[in-house]
Structure 1
Amino acid sequence: MAATLRVLPGFVRTRPCPVLWGSPASWSVSNMALAEQAWQLFEGAVDAVMPGPMLHRTLALDTETGQLKIRDRNFKLHHNLYLAGFGKAVLGMAAVAEELLSEHLVQGIISVPKGIQAALERAGMKEMLLKPQSRIQVLEGAKDNLPDGDALQAALAIRDLAEGLTADDLLLVLISGGGSALLPAPIPPVTLEEKQLLTKMLAARGATIQELNTIRKALSQLKGGGLARAAYPAQVVSLILSDVVGDPVDIIASGPTVANDHSVQDCLHILSRHDLRGILPRSVKTVLSRADSDPRGPPGCGHVLNVVIGSNSLALAEAQRRAEALGYQTLVLSTVIEGDVGHLARFYGLLAQVVGIRLSSQDMKTKKEEDELQELVEELQLSDIKLEEVLQAVEGAKGPVCLLAGGEPTVRLRGSGKGGRNQELALRVAVEMSGSPPSAWEALFLSGGTDGQDGPTEAAGAWVTPGLASEAAAEGLDVAAFLANNDSNTFFRRLKGGVHLLCTGLTGTNVMDIHLLLLRPC
């Protein structure tokens, strides 16, 4: 990921990025600023899920026999390979796949975010780009991660490619986060605008990614197993970079190569839960009314192999390894973080307070805070967090502590500002930590999207410390007003010239978000 560092001026502005980190041998807890350490851990997490290493771990081609081995399955290649892909990380994935399999590749089409080729070229990340004579056609669309006409044309081109395959062919499908927006092909009479409006309304009312994708699948030609149906009887292999909590292959990019097991009733329950059922367009009602009675029915997916090649867990494992190398006692709290950013911010704020007190061996009671923490664990359904075990593990630690987590929280939009879930979460955590009692331990919280794009902004996320609210007040910035308007990006840009923003540029990968909480003796 060294090339990525050249497009990271926004994290620490006092020195140019290539000089900032030095060599691994120079890292130490004593001489590196806490913010620099946080960035190093985030960089390591992203680096672990870059397309190159993942594809090389997954694909093994015997050039003499033409046997392609993927996990425990073998496929015979003889100039019969076709490729389709969609997602924020797919351009780099396709470049590696073509490098490995070009002898047998006939044709490919990928749908990628608007502007990603130019961005990667500017960043010097040539390994993420296709060669000039590539057999893979690159179609860009979905500006600001929203489905648009360009993405629709790409989806229809991928559909046509799949429908032209025979039983002798193999379709290699590359899928990553952002795939849903890049593969929009609504079932007529639903229009792209109607489907987009419905998705926006659901997101604005706090719908989870699982709920959004359930609705998308019901209204899509290619999602919910639609691409697999189009490619039948060809064999299909999907290599998936997961951006969904728990890595459910039927939800990632709305499961284009996985049989749909959601019913119309599931869709209606979601729409009712978010008070949208009564205002649905007639076209949506028409498609939902006939979905369960479609006489064609999907064929079985026995011709499909779905393989998750990268995930949030893998990214967190690398961050943990790097934190331990820096001398941190490190725990991975959870890889399934979901829920409202307000409740999650309260959780992280309380966690920093309680852990800080325990680490300081201060004679202060924290039972009230610990009880509230446990209630939040249950409310957020963070079943993999064993709170008492976490607190016991860090209690009495003599050195710094690093707590890691990953997932994808949700933001309920109430204002018209500019921001993203990572920036809003970080700002809310700063507010929560500002009320903590004085501690002998300094703290820092970072939240960043591994794709490098947090909402429709130039930032991947932000980092904060307990003193941020006071710094903002000194500069005349009203944190509460910015939060009320969902305007976290504007806040961070105005505070100290944007030094708290995590600006990576598009990274070429996507495995949801990374949260880290660092505590270190003052």
Structure 2
Amino acid sequence: MARIFRVVSSHRILLQYRGAVRNMATLQDDGHQIFRSAVSAVLPPQMLQRALAVRESAGSAVLECGGKKYPLHNNLYLAGFGKAVLGMAAATERIVGKHLVQGVISIPQGMQKSLMQAGKRDMLLSSDSRIRVMEGAANNMPDEAALKAAGEIRKLAEKLQEKDVLLVLISGGGSALLPAPVPPLTLQDKQKITKQLALGGATIQELNTIRRALSQLKGGGLARAAYPAQVVSLILSDVIGDDLDVIASGPTVPGVHNAEDCVHILSKYNLRDSISRVAEEVILSRKEPQAQNCFTHVHNNLIGSNFIALQEAECESRKLGYLPLLLSTAISGDVKPVSKFFALLAQVICSTLTSAPEQIQQEQEILDLASTMNIPSLNLKERLQEVKATRNVDAICVLFGGETTVQVQGKGKGGRNQELALRVAAEWHRSQAAMSGCDVLFLSGGTDGQDGPTKAAGASSYPLLMSHALDSGLDVEGSLIDSDSNSFFRHFQNGQHLVMTGLTGTNVMDVQALLIRKQRGSDPSV
């Protein structure tokens, strides 16, 4: 009788284990589907179809964008620069068709070939396109090829008349693809100054202030070159906060620098005496333009952002049966504290769903941690109260966006998203966080489809990942020490936890999804 009982008990445990594995598989499917939906919302074809339209009637045509209308009569031109601009240009040309007279875009070296190999033919221009494609900025650094492209874009802008309309396509990476130093400065002069500032610890805001002062096209320079033509910018943001003057250094946004600001920055980093006399003269001669007089012809439109991607992920998670919580688009900083935040957040929400006794202590702990991370507009306490107040909730999808950083320690391969996913699992393992009664999945992925020097966009993890990896003989701590998260995930369970999208042709930073679901009909101790 005892033997029969043991057999029955073992069979029950086996069924429960298989059920847990099946539950995790569906959770992972959901996580990947939610991530893909976020990316799809900011792909160039979808973005441009939402933002741009041509209406034709009785022999006349009008371009509609941002609630404004622009008459078309052989007067539409296009310029673009950035990592996502080739796909944006292809989508734009399909919309405006014969009305486009001429265009020039500056894109990263090898982008056309990469998109072709990735099968993204809808992001490639047709053979009879009126848009000239120029590649440069190898390794995301300004070079002579990018300088030549910037010169062609400037020539196009300067020839336009009041009747003309210039569509400007802008995405992340545009700054390196639009180098145009103020003469007689050379590209090398400008690079030397910005490199010295970067080595000295200058902030991105300080670097951009100097870049704009030394550039013909940044800081509103392109818009001034195109005056008096109408300038319609379509902008894809890859920066936290979506500041238009930061994206590609704001070529169509009024400059906010002046000579005094630049001198102060150079003095702060002891560079006033080391820069060339020519560079100093250029800086001292720059005057801040009067925005109200110079930019009435400019209309900037933000058509893609991390928030737009997360809104689509929010809708998709709701369709899949989750209560979505979109908490922030501004997660940043080193992955180590960020991983602690996500690991603890999962514990707090699981405790809330299951009414666990440790809920109050965990909640205070994460509120204290969140206060040290300075995440803008997080309002975590209020959102957790919403979860408590919502009745009959058994599945929650917490959504975040932003861009973390990794301090590379070894010679391994990985990226910020894969390392973040691995570190979240490590945090769960170290704290012995069983999260009894819940299935939990964490996923982090880059919307551009590339996480570091790997083919993965990111990875997903779960509370027992470390235990399963150790059972398989994998050296988890060694992978973290050697910054080798990609190798870990490739070898663990045949890489099934890697997020593989291929090159997407867009970039609005990263998306994180934390899925917590109450277990049904299973023993939480299994």
Is 1:351–2:348 an aligned residue pair?
no
> How far did residue 86 of structure 1 move?
1.3
Check 1:149–1:404 CA distance in 2 against 1; reply closer, same or farther (3 A cut).
Answer: same
Whole-angstrom distance in 2 between the partners of 1:111 and 1:71: 24
Is 1:468–2:465 an aligned residue pair?
yes
Is 1:291–2:291 an aligned residue pair?
no
> How far did residue 384 of structure 1 move?
1.9
Whole-angstrom distance in 2 between the partners of 1:212 and 1:461: 30
Equivalent residue in structure 2 for 1:362, among 338, 356, 359: 356
Whole-angstrom distance in 2 between the partners of 1:237 and 1:279: 38
Corresponding residue number in structure 2 for 1:178: 173
CA contact (8 A) 2:257 2:288 kept: no
Equivalent residue in structure 1 for 2:113, among 106, 113, 118: 118
Whole-angstrom distance in 2 between the partners of 1:135 and 1:97: 12
Equivalent residue in structure 1 for 2:185, among 185, 189, 193: 189
Whole-angstrom distance in 2 between the partners of 1:45 and 1:194: 37
> How far did residue 183 of structure 1 move?
2.2
1:331 partner letter: L
> How far did residue 257 of structure 1 move?
0.6
Corresponding residue number in structure 1 for 2:510: 513
Check 1:358–1:296 CA distance in 2 against 1; reply closer, same or farther (3 A cut).
Answer: closer
Corresponding residue number in structure 1 for 2:72: 77
Equivalent residue in structure 2 for 1:90, among 81, 85, 101: 85
> How far did residue 497 of structure 1 move?
4.2
> How far did residue 283 of structure 1 move?
4.5
Over the aligned positions, Cα root-mean-square deviation in angstroms equals 3.3
Corresponding residue number in structure 2 for 1:42: 35
CA contact (8 A) 1:209 1:244 kept: no
CA contact (8 A) 2:421 2:442 kept: yes
The higher radius of gyration belongs to 2
Whole-angstrom distance in 2 between the partners of 1:222 and 1:285: 22
Map Cα deviations across residues 276-318 of structure 1 (whole Å, 9 max, x no partner).
Answer: x357994589636742532695772222110111222221111
SS at match of 1:182: coil
Aligned 1:320-335 pairs, distance under 5 A: 320-335=314-329
> How far did residue 194 of structure 1 move?
6.5
Check 1:296–1:251 CA distance in 2 against 1; reply closer, same or farther (3 A cut).
Answer: closer
Gap regions ≥5 residues in structure 1: 1-28
- Name which of structure 1's ranges 459-468 and 215-224 shifts more when overlaid on structure 2: 215-224
Corresponding residue number in structure 2 for 1:402: 397
> How far did residue 67 of structure 1 move?
2.2
Check 1:340–1:281 CA distance in 2 against 1; reply closer, same or farther (3 A cut).
Answer: farther
What TM-score do the two structures reach when normalised by structure 2?
0.82
Map Cα deviations across residues 197-223 of structure 1 (whole Å, 9 max, x no partner).
Answer: 956984997x87656544543443322
CA contact (8 A) 2:403 2:510 kept: yes
Corresponding residue number in structure 2 for 1:250: 245
Check 1:216–1:466 CA distance in 2 against 1; reply closer, same or farther (3 A cut).
Answer: farther
Whole-angstrom distance in 2 between the partners of 1:448 and 1:373: 23
Is 1:223–2:223 an aligned residue pair?
no
Equivalent residue in structure 2 for 1:304, among 298, 303, 308: 298
Whole-angstrom distance in 1 between the partners of 2:276 and 2:406: 25
CA contact (8 A) 2:159 2:226 kept: yes
CA contact (8 A) 1:445 1:465 kept: yes
Is 1:451–2:451 an aligned residue pair?
no
Corresponding residue number in structure 2 for 1:10: none
Corresponding residue number in structure 2 for 1:14: none
> How far did residue 259 of structure 1 move?
1.3
- Name which of structure 1's ranges 303-312 and 138-147 shifts more when overlaid on structure 2: 138-147
Whole-angstrom distance in 2 between the partners of 1:192 and 1:480: 43
CA contact (8 A) 2:193 2:275 kept: no
SS at match of 1:446: strand
Is 1:66–2:58 an aligned residue pair?
no
Is 1:503–2:500 an aligned residue pair?
yes
- Name which of structure 1's ranges 410-419 and 262-271 shifts more when overlaid on structure 2: 262-271
2:74 partner letter: H
Equivalent residue in structure 2 for 1:379, among 349, 365, 372: 372
2:434 partner letter: P
> How far did residue 45 of structure 1 move?
0.7
Map Cα deviations across residues 415-465 of structure 1 (whole Å, 9 max, x no partner).
Answer: 555433222322222222222421221211111111112233322222122
> How far did residue 193 of structure 1 move?
8.8
SS at match of 2:405: coil
Map Cα deviations across residues 6-45 of structure 1 (whole Å, 9 max, x no partner).
Answer: xxxxxxxxxxxxxxxxxxxxxxx96952211111001111
> How far did residue 108 of structure 1 move?
0.6
- Name which of structure 1's ranges 395-404 and 480-489 shifts more when overlaid on structure 2: 480-489
Whole-angstrom distance in 2 between the partners of 1:156 and 1:284: 24
CA contact (8 A) 1:148 1:192 kept: no
> How far did residue 476 of structure 1 move?
5.2
2:504 partner letter: T
SS at match of 1:408: strand
Aligned 1:235-246 pairs, distance under 5 A: 235-246=230-241
Whole-angstrom distance in 2 between the partners of 1:272 and 1:454: 37
Whole-angstrom distance in 1 between the partners of 2:446 and 2:379: 25
- Name which of structure 1's ranges 512-521 and 95-104 shifts more when overlaid on structure 2: 95-104
SS at match of 2:176: helix
2:244 partner letter: V
1:364 partner letter: E
- Name which of structure 1's ranges 470-479 and 170-179 shifts more when overlaid on structure 2: 470-479
Whole-angstrom distance in 1 between the partners of 2:158 and 2:332: 37
The alignment covers a number of residue pairs equal to 489
Aligned 1:11-30 pairs, distance under 5 A: none
Check 1:500–1:100 CA distance in 2 against 1; reply closer, same or farther (3 A cut).
Answer: same
Map Cα deviations across residues 370-400 of structure 1 (whole Å, 9 max, x no partner).
Answer: 3342233333322322222222333475422
SS at match of 1:110: strand
- Name which of structure 1's ranges 380-389 and 38-47 shifts more when overlaid on structure 2: 380-389
> How far did residue 265 of structure 1 move?
6.4
> How far did residue 91 of structure 1 move?
1.5
Equivalent residue in structure 1 for 2:133, among 129, 138, 152: 138
SS at match of 2:511: strand
Check 1:177–1:502 CA distance in 2 against 1; reply closer, same or farther (3 A cut).
Answer: same
> How far did residue 267 of structure 1 move?
6.2
Percent same amino acid at aligned positions?
52
CA contact (8 A) 1:190 1:219 kept: no
Corresponding residue number in structure 1 for 2:433: 437
Whole-angstrom distance in 2 between the partners of 1:426 and 1:199: 33
> How far did residue 169 of structure 1 move?
2.1
Check 1:413–1:451 CA distance in 2 against 1; reply closer, same or farther (3 A cut).
Answer: same
Map Cα deviations across residues 166-190 of structure 1 (whole Å, 9 max, x no partner).
Answer: 3332211011222223223344535
> How far did residue 516 of structure 1 move?
0.6
CA contact (8 A) 1:228 1:304 kept: yes
> How far did residue 504 of structure 1 move?
1.5
Check 1:509–1:74 CA distance in 2 against 1; reply closer, same or farther (3 A cut).
Answer: same
1:498 partner letter: G
